[in-house]
């Protein structure tokens, strides 16, 4: 079983946590078109206003992905979805197979 999540937002992180509650072993691939780990967009203004530091902007620590056995693909956009073949094509033309897909 391959779970593919497009989007490294709060909902993508929540999806990883929910999947891992019921499925500890199957593959999770999380795809983000941004080059950064997860972060809270609303907190950007606090960061710019120096009310928080950059280490407080992430939803989860960097080791979250490893601990949850997530294959993280950063800085690549999902450009094509083929539901019949169950594939997502990335901006570098790489094809990712899925059994279950979430666009978050």
At 70 the pLDDT is 98
Helix, strand or coil, per DSSP, at residue 75: coil
Global confidence as pTM: 0.89
Give the residue numbers spanning the domain of 84.
2-103
Q: Give, for all 104 residues of the chain, the pLDDT tens digit.
A: 999 999 999 999 999 999 999 999 999 999 999 998 888 888 889 989 999 898 888 888 889 999 999 999 999 999 999 999 999 999 999 999 999 999 99
At 91 the pLDDT is 98
At 61 the pLDDT is 86
Looking at the DSSP bridge assignments, the partners of residue 96 are 88
Three-class HEC string of 10-71: HHHHHHHHHHHHHCCCCEEEEECCCCCCCCCHHHHHHHHCCCCCHHHCCCCCCCHHHHCCEE
Question: What CATH number did the domain enclosing 83 receive?
Answer: 3.50.50.60
Total domain count, the chain: 1
């Amino acid at each position: 079983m391959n779970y593919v999540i497009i989007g490294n937002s709060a909902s993508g992180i929540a999806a990883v946590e929910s999947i891992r509650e019921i499925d500890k072993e199957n593959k999770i691939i999380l795809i983000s078109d941004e080059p950064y780990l997860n972060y809270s967009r609303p907190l950007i203004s606090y960061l710019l206003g120096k009310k928080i530091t950059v280490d407080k902007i992430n939803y989860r620590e960097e080791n979250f992905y490893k601990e949850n056995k997530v294959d993280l693909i950063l800085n690549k956009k999902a450009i094509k979805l083929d539901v019949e073949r169950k594939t997502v094509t990335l901006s570098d033309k790489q094809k990712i197979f899925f059994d279950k897909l979430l666009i978050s």
